[in-house]
Amino acid sequence: MPPDFNPSYQVPNWGWWIVLYFFFGGVTGGVYFAAAWLDLFGDLRDRAAMRVGHLIAFPLILLSALFLIVDLGQPLRFWHMIFQSERFPEPIFKPYSPMSLGSGILFIFGVVSFLSFVDAVLGRSSLLHSPRNPIGKIVSVLGALAGLALAGYTGALLNVNNEPVWGDSPWLSALFLFSGISTGIAALLLLARRVASTTIEKLSEADNYMVLFELITLVVFLASLGAVGTRFIFGTPTIVLFAIVVVIGVLVPLAIHWRPGLAGGLRSASVLSAVLVLIGGFVLRWAVLAAPQGLGL
Amino acid sequence: MRSLFNLPPLVEQQQIPAQPQVGDAPVPGSPVSATGTGTPAAPVSFQRGQSVGFFTDTTLCIGCKACEVACKEWNQLPAELDAKYFRLSGNSYDNTVALSGTTYRHVKFVEQFELSNPNRVGGRWLMMSDVCKHCVQAGCLEVCPTGAITRTEFDTVYIQKDVCNGCRYCVAGCPYGVIEMDQDGVAGKCTFCYDRLQAGLTPACAQACPTASIQFGPVSELQQRADARLLQLQQAGRTQARLYGRDEAMLGGLNSFYLLEDTPSTYGLPEAPHLPSRNLPATGGLGLVAAVLAGIAGVLAMRRRRIDSVEAAEEAR
Amino acid sequence: MGSDMAECHPVAFRWVMKAKQNGAKLIHIDPRFTRTSAVADIFVPIRAGSDIVFLGGLINWVIQNEKYFKDYVLNYTNAATIINPNFRDSEDLDGIFSGYNAETRTYDNATWQYDRTQAQQNQPNADTQQAGVQPQQPLAPFDRAMQADTSQSFDPLVKALVPPRERKDPTLQDPNCAFQILKRHFARYTPEMVEQVCGCPKEKFLEVAQTLVDNSGPERTGSMAYAVAWTQHTIGVQIIRAAGILQQLLGNIGRPGGGILALRGHASIQGSTDNPTLYHSITGYMSHPSILKRHETLKEYLATETTPTSYYSNQPKFMVSYLKAMYGDAATRENDFAYGWHPRISGDHSHIPMMVNVADGKVKGMFAIGQNPAVGGQNAGLQRRALANLDWLVVRDYFETETASFWYASPEVRNGQLSTADIKTEIFFLPAAHNAEGEGSFTNTHRLLQWHEKAADPPGDARTDLWFTYQLGKRLKQLYAGSTLPRDQGFLNLTWDYEPQPTETLEWRIKDEPSGLRVLKEINGYDVATGNHLSGFGALKDDGSTACGNWIYSGVFPAPDRNLAASRKPDNYVSLGWGFNWPANRHIMYNRASARPDGQPWSDRKRYVWWNPQGGADQKGAWVGYDVPDFTINKPPDAPADDNGVGLAWQSGAEPFIMHADGRAWLFAPTGLLDGPMPAHYEPAESPVQNALYPKQQSSPVYKYFQRDDNQLAQVGDPRYPFAITTYRLTEHYLSGTMSRWLPWLAELQPELFVEISPELAREKGIANLDMVKVSTPRASINARALVTGRLRPFTINGERVHQVGMPWHWGYKGYATGDIVNSLSSLVMDPNVSMHEGKAFVCNVEKA
């Protein structure tokens, strides 16, 4: 009998909806983080990009939440993760369970991003987020923190686990955070077209930092898995996905940034690079979820 | 010793809905008499507030699967008739293959025959009835975001199916791979026959087990019995016999613990199971560091520079 | 041995496990390593069909090494009895015993009888004294009995049957004494022979032998349990005989923790053979009146069937009481107690010959009640094709079985051999009730009757077998009403009133459910004049004043308010207060053997029943102990044997086996078996190897075979069928699967048919685990998945490698779990004693499909 015929784990079937959620969740968090950092540390020319970020963050968080809800075995009971179902409206909150923590993060992010969204739609980002309004700055800080948490907590969720690969490492929250922020910046780069070229430069530079950190973290993550990695990743087709992430999601974007001429100039380089980073972010989520569950999820 | 992160929830556990009672309602703290396994000469008595469990002595298991059938019959669980499951697995006499949301007991078969021995003498066929371990420190309970998984007054781990929303975190959080989803999309696992316990009855599997391999009772009694049985076997020369999950060392103790005749991994059991939260400090810490790095990198990339601000001022005009 | 008890009797196996936990050693001897082997202390692999060699090997080892229980053997067995000097053993005649008729394939057992010559010259001839005539030659016992005056009682008939005392040699040295014959007979069953023919390592055989003797004797006992892996052979009965001989030598019969337990295979099949469904007996294992025997009148019947020197001397009382129960007041001394109305058998009406007759169109109609020959019958294809010849078929079962649906769903219909449009059989499917939907008794394998209550009404039209049989009888009686034909009088006069009291059906929907208690009363027996329940078979008379449906059950219902089968008072040992153990609530039969000839226990550790000199109501001595003594309660251990005594008076107070003519257990069996007084090894009817013990007699010289084109047998060494095959059961399914394959929770445990093959065979044939393979025999070819497992192994027999495969036979074409029918592979061959088939050992081929 093969030794793993009686495995001591089962797969939770976190499939395509969850890949989409992880991906969009990262994008959402990254978008608001970028917008917030532009708000806090950028100059007046960056405000256009910031406004784009505020316009899309809230719809994105709704979309992300939708993916999450659809994935549930009982979607209409999604609110059981926020309120105790038998003792409504008492909340339920277990900070040591990343998923429970996540519902809190989603809630806070939703509130904050909603405020920024309203400001962006109604007030053209000149009320709450007027350059001198301190409340806007606080909102940005909160949103940025929530955005970082949103990007990274899904990795923590996978680590706080007993599934092979996921539960055998502490690196996924860092990995997803870097990846999420990078995809968020990339999304902003794609969607905020009528902005200053300096903004684009700034965002591209930030993105480079993020994908570089992502690459380093990914290599450390894979190396630290040891025998588990060999069994679930290196000997399987999943390694191809990771290779795509590294090459298409990180190395080529870095090369393009180093030599923009390869892609025909700064603007087109930034577009291409952003698209590749987004692809890389998506494939990364797919690869990590596929490691113990199989390529088809 | 409970781990730092296995704290009880910030909000009080909700009351379990009342189950239909047989006879007089038991008074909390007073003994609930029960019929035991085996003959009427071996009754079991237990009470609320006292840990009950299973001691499964696999040296007595004959692989008959009465436990599987009794469990399905009592809980009215569907058979797995789908063509994907309804076939010979090829793994010895185990066609159940795994626990699932609709299969709460699973008998494992491990054939150990040295094929170079033409007479097959000395070969072994190990059998073990797998079930939820009802861990004192339960990984599934720890991660469940709705609080559907809860601890009963009998110290068993119970899924409230009307609360569960099917997020499947428990499936990934269990170190034994016990939980899976049922046909309604919610999690399912051994209930420890919670309804039978409340009526003072032995769980269905222990009641049905013909050789009393599955023994039910207060955990402290079972531990004494297990220790005695282990000693008996070792004195009879069966030195590979060992207890699994009897002590607090493993997840605070498994309320459903085993006597095995080989290493745990032979039976598909983890040698050193952990709670999911063991990774929380590390992953949280690294995530925090990552957040700080991302923040700094963001500042470096996006901050105003003196030249920029001149240009910015010009452009703003 | 001969059983896979953990898999097939898991609930009873709990007691084996408890014994193990108390230190008992469990030995499992089997062709495969099964779930029983997994918990055994010693496992010995043997080739299917070689059991007599193994058991004979043990017998030989025990005798040669003088490890038998000497006092027990000398006093309680017929070891010292001298046999007819004309007896010739299979060792003398190259594999057959004296008296063989090759044309008819039968034995005349005249030369197997006890030697009574010397005594005959000295014994006064009772009848000739009575008649006042001195004959020149003594009459045969039958003729003497027929001359006796039975106008008032049958006692003179019984007395006339008493033969001269047999000759004995208590020193056991006479070459013709049973012990010496036994010793010579098994002399070639050496450990080396065991290894050569059974294929098991010699060391394992010796380990078993040593363990058995270490656990026998005054201080210890060992018990054996067997099931159909011993019975389902053409030499099945002799395999069991071999175990009987071994246990006698070890002194394990009639003692606590000893004995041989037949693990019967159906729920209450013990009850069903007790009250009988076997064609050749009427209740209580009395012989069925037969036109092939001297059974013309009741007197002839009793003269033929009565054993005058054992408890069976009471046969006339059992038979007359039975006839009174059958025909009531219409049975009187004047009409021979209606014996003339009782049906007669005219041959072998067991299942296989009956189905052969069906196949030949000689049977018009059939009832299949809880039976599924389309799957469970041997050479099942033949049986399925046969069903199409019936005019009508009634099937009573829970589900539409393969037998009920053969006409549209069988493989023969699907492959065109039979066409539904051409099948003229009219089939009635009647739904049956489960046993919890009716009350009745349940007799388990150690003769314990337990009453079960009705828990619920069956749904719709489903009815119990009791209801069906009763209704059928009532309606047939109505159809016969008014007939004056002599042949109908028996049916018309059959007692047939089991109407329930209103109180019995008050809470149930079905108001005409017959009264189980009225049936039980008839079985128990009652006084004809008063209707009072009888207290036991000791109260039976041969003058028509008592009626008793089944003498062995008598005593179960001694008063209207005392149904002992329903009593539930356990204790921590024999539990005499739990249920009713026939006969007379004795749990261990022949338990007088648990005491020495002087009446004291063999050892304190194994005391069970013993003689108390001050015991009994009159304090003059009685047998006492933990069980109901299986002996005349106040007969002292030193009571002498009376050469003129009738019944138990013939036997001494130190002869425990009271149902045998000589009060002894039989090492050598002069009567009762058609294939020899002692077991000899023969290969199965189909075997891959030659008979190493008797090269000139490959298989049993008397096994029954049906010479037909659709029942061909493979010859030894046929290269087309090189592998040995055995069929068996799994825990998860029940027999032909009529209950288990229809129940999803059981069907999913073993959903598909498989054939278990060894890794060596798999490698040779290029078969991987789970491949579909074709298994074929001269009768049929079926497909199954291969389950490659190290639990099966090839054997080395007579120096050659012999592969063996195994198949569980539960599958059929209906239900959730379907599959090919394994019994299509086997053939129609039968053990001559009981017409049992040989599903446990034949030959086949296995190839990738």
Query: What is the tens place of the pLDDT at every residue in B155-214?
Result: 999 999 999 999 999 999 999 999 999 999 999 999 999 999 988 889 999 999 999 999
Task: Give the rounded percent of residues in chain C with a pLDDT score beyond 90.
Answer: 94
Closest residue of chain A to B175, computed from CA coordinates: A162
Closest residue of chain B to A181, computed from CA coordinates: B294
Using CB atoms, list chains with 3+ pairs below 8 Å to chain A. Answer: B
Helix (H, G, I), strand (E, B) or coil at C152: coil
| Whether residue C83 has pLDDT greater than 90 | yes
Average pLDDT over residues B234-249: 96
Q: What backbone torsions phi and psi does residue C363 show, to the nearest 5 degrees?
A: -120, 130
* Mean pLDDT of the residues in chain C: 95
Q: Say yes or no: C360 contacts chain B, CB-CB below 8 A.
A: no
Residues 805..824 of C with a Cβ closer than 8 Å to B: which? 816-817
Cα–Cα nearest to C357, from C708, C38, C599: C708
Report yes or no: C42 and C49 within 8 Å, Cβ to Cβ: no
Average pLDDT over residues C652-671: 97
Q: Chain-centre distance of CA B173, in angstroms? A: 10
Helix (H, G, I), strand (E, B) or coil at C156: helix
- Cβ of C745 within 8 Å of Cβ of B41? The answer is no
pTM of the model: 0.92
Which 8-state DSSP code applies to residue C500? P
pLDDT at A263: 73
Q: Which residues of B touch C (CB under 8 A)?
A: 38-41, 59-60, 62-66, 68-69, 72-73, 78-81, 85-88, 90, 92-93, 95-96, 111, 113-115, 118-121, 123-127, 210-212
Helix (H, G, I), strand (E, B) or coil at C648: helix
**d(C-alpha C598, C-alpha C770), whole Å:** 63
Residues 459..518 of C with a Cβ closer than 8 Å to B: which? none
Between chain A and chain B, how many beta carbons pairs sit less than 8 Å apart?
260
Q: Please report, as a single letter, which amino acid is at residue C342.
A: H
pLDDT at C307: 96
Report yes or no: B62 and C7 within 8 Å, Cβ to Cβ: yes
Q: Say yes or no: C754 contacts chain B, CB-CB below 8 A.
A: yes
Q: What backbone torsions phi and psi does residue C510 show, to the nearest 5 degrees?
A: -85, 110
Helix (H, G, I), strand (E, B) or coil at C509: coil
Q: Say yes or no: A131 contacts chain B, CB-CB below 8 A.
A: no
Contacts of B164 in chain A (CB under 8 A): 73-74, 77, 80
Among B93, B149, B283, the strongest candidate for a mutation testing the A interface, having the largest count of A CBs within 10 A, is B283
Residues 6 or more apart from C270 whose CB is under 8 A from it? C264, C443, C444, C445, C447
Task: Give the rounded percent of residues in chain C with a pLDDT score beyond 70.
Answer: 98
Helix (H, G, I), strand (E, B) or coil at C724: strand
**d(C-alpha C587, C-alpha C570), whole Å:** 14
Cα–Cα nearest to C597, from C629, C637, C631, C636: C637
**DSSP letters spanning chain B:** ---TT-PPPSSPPPPPPPPPPSSSPPPTTS-EEE--SSSTT--EEE-TTS-EEEEEEGGG-----HHHHHHHHHHTPPP--STTTSS--SSTT--S-S-BTTB--EEEEEEE--TT-TT-TT-EEEEEEE----BSS-HHHHH-SSS-EEE-TTS-EEE-TTT-----HHHHH-TT---EE-TTSSEE---TTHHHHHTT---HHHHH-TT--EEEEEHHHHHHHHHHHHHHHHHTT-TT-EEES-STTTTT-BSEEEEESS-GGGGT--SS---GGGGHHHHHHHHHHHHHHHHHHHHHHHS--HHHHHHHHHHH-
Structure-token pair, residue C306: 């009565």
Report yes or no: C399 and C434 within 8 Å, Cβ to Cβ: no
pLDDT at B4: 41
Q: Chain-centre distance of CA C681, in angstroms? A: 20
Q: What is the pLDDT of residues C643-656, one digit of tens each?
A: 999 999 999 999 99
Structure-token pair, residue C751: 């959903």
**d(C-alpha A277, C-alpha A187), whole Å:** 9
**d(C-alpha C241, C-alpha C669), whole Å:** 9
- Cβ of B120 within 8 Å of Cβ of C572? The answer is no
- Cβ of B294 within 8 Å of Cβ of A177? The answer is yes
What is the greatest pairwise CA distance in chain B?
98
Residue with token string 């995530």 = B287
Report yes or no: A142 and A87 within 8 Å, Cβ to Cβ: no
**d(C-alpha B160, C-alpha B154), whole Å:** 15
Cα angle B46, B51, B53; round to 5: 85
Contacts of B185 in chain A (CB under 8 A): 72-74
Cα–Cα nearest to C79, from C676, C669, C599: C669
pLDDT at B13: 35
- Cβ of B9 within 8 Å of Cβ of A94? The answer is yes
| Whether residue C120 has pLDDT greater than 60 | no
* Mean pLDDT of the residues in chain B: 85
Closest-CA distance, A2 to chain B, in angstroms, reads: 9
Closest residue of chain C to B42, computed from CA coordinates: C572
| Whether residue B39 has pLDDT greater than 50 | no
Among B89, B165, B186, B293, the strongest candidate for a mutation testing the A interface, having the largest count of A CBs within 10 A, is B165
pLDDT at A124: 82
Which 8-state DSSP code applies to residue C704? E
For chain A, report the end-to-end CA distance as a whole number of angstroms: 26
> Which of C14, C754, C789 lies nearest to residue B111, judging by beta carbons?
C789
Distances (CA, A) of C594 to A297, B213, B219, C80, C290: 70, 34, 44, 20, 38
Closest-CA distance, A265 to chain B, in angstroms, reads: 20
Say which range, C107-116, C550-559, C562-571, C793-802, has the weakest mean pLDDT.
Answer: C562-571
pLDDT at B315: 60
Distances (CA, A) of C549 to A260, C155, C301: 107, 21, 18
- Cβ of B93 within 8 Å of Cβ of C745? The answer is no
**d(C-alpha A153, C-alpha C501), whole Å:** 76
> Which of B11, B110, B316 lies nearest to residue A92, judging by beta carbons?
B11
Report yes or no: B57 and B215 within 8 Å, Cβ to Cβ: yes
Report yes or no: C738 and C372 within 8 Å, Cβ to Cβ: yes
Q: What is the pLDDT of residues B178-193, one digit of tens each?
A: 999 999 999 999 999 9
Contacts of B90 in chain C (CB under 8 A): 769-770, 785, 787
> Which of B165, B175, B185 lies nearest to residue A81, judging by beta carbons?
B165
Q: What backbone torsions phi and psi does residue C623 show, to the nearest 5 degrees?
A: -85, 130
Contacts of C17 in chain B (CB under 8 A): 60, 62, 211-212
Report yes or no: C352 and C296 within 8 Å, Cβ to Cβ: no
> Which of B279, B291, B315 lies nearest to residue A148, judging by beta carbons?
B291
Contacts of A217 in chain B (CB under 8 A): 290
Confidence band of B34 (pLDDT split at 50, 70, 90)? very low
Q: What backbone torsions phi and psi does residue B222 show, to the nearest 5 degrees?
A: -65, -35
pLDDT at B258: 98
- Cβ of A72 within 8 Å of Cβ of B290? The answer is no
Closest-CA distance, B32 to chain C, in angstroms, reads: 24
HEC string of chain A equals CCHHHCCCCCCCCCCHHHHHHHHHHHHHHHHHHHHHHHHHHCCHHHHHHHHHHHHHHHHHHHHHHHHHHHHCCCHHHHHHHCECCCCCCCECCCCCCHHHHHHHHHHHHHHHHHHHHHHHHHCCCCCCCCCCCHHHHHHHHHHHHHHHHHHHHHHHHHHCCCCCCHHHCCCHHHHHHHHHHHHHHHHHHHHCCCCCHHHHHHHHHHHHHHHHHHHHHHHHHHHHCCHHHHHHHHCCCHHHHHHHHHHHHHHHHHHHHHCHHHHCCHHHHHHHHHHHHHHHHHHHHHHHHHHHHCCCC
Closest residue of chain B to C199, computed from CA coordinates: B119
Residues 178..207 of A with a Cβ closer than 8 Å to B: which? 178, 181, 196, 198, 202-203, 205-206
Confidence band of C659 (pLDDT split at 50, 70, 90)? very high
pLDDT at B313: 61
Distances (CA, A) of C634 to C255, C618, C626, C642, C646: 20, 10, 16, 17, 17
Closest residue of chain A to B171, computed from CA coordinates: A12
pLDDT at B200: 86
Report yes or no: C315 and C307 within 8 Å, Cβ to Cβ: yes
Residues 45..104 of C with a Cβ closer than 8 Å to B: which? 45
Average pLDDT over residues B11-17: 32
Residues 6 or more apart from C738 whose CB is under 8 A from it? C372, C375, C397, C398, C399, C401, C402, C815
Report yes or no: C311 and C655 within 8 Å, Cβ to Cβ: no
**d(C-alpha C322, C-alpha C283), whole Å:** 8
Asked whether this complex has an ipTM greater than 0.85, the answer is: yes
Low-confidence ranges of chain A (pLDDT < 50): 1-3
Element (H, E) at C468: helix C465-480
| Whether residue C31 has pLDDT greater than 60 | yes
Strand bridging mode C580-581 / C781-788: unpaired
Q: Chain-centre distance of CA C57, in angstroms? A: 24
Confidence band of B29 (pLDDT split at 50, 70, 90)? very low
**d(C-alpha A36, C-alpha A138), whole Å:** 10
- Cβ of B119 within 8 Å of Cβ of C570? The answer is no
Contacts of C38 in chain B (CB under 8 A): 62-63, 124-127
Q: Say yes or no: A172 contacts chain B, CB-CB below 8 A.
A: yes
pLDDT at A3: 39
> Which of B110, B175, B286 lies nearest to residue A162, judging by beta carbons?
B175
pLDDT at A296: 86
Residues 6 or more apart from C421 whose CB is under 8 A from it? none
Q: Chain-centre distance of CA A67, in angstroms? A: 14
Closest residue of chain A to B4, computed from CA coordinates: A96
Q: Say yes or no: A89 contacts chain B, CB-CB below 8 A.
A: no
- Cβ of C43 within 8 Å of Cβ of B59? The answer is no
Contacts of C43 in chain B (CB under 8 A): 121
Which 8-state DSSP code applies to residue C767? P
Q: What sign for the dihedral angle of Cα A130, A132, A136, A140?
A: positive
Contacts of B303 in chain A (CB under 8 A): 41-42
Cα–Cα nearest to A37, from C845, B264, B301: B301
Average pLDDT over residues C290-309: 96
pLDDT at A126: 81
Closest residue of chain B to A3, computed from CA coordinates: B266
Closest residue of chain A to B163, computed from CA coordinates: A85
Q: What sign for the dihedral angle of Cα C211, C217, C222, C228?
A: positive
pLDDT at C518: 97
Closest residue of chain A to B174, computed from CA coordinates: A162
Q: Say yes or no: A90 contacts chain B, CB-CB below 8 A.
A: yes
Query: Half-sphere exposure of A86 toward its Cβ, with a 13 Å CA cutoff?
Result: 15
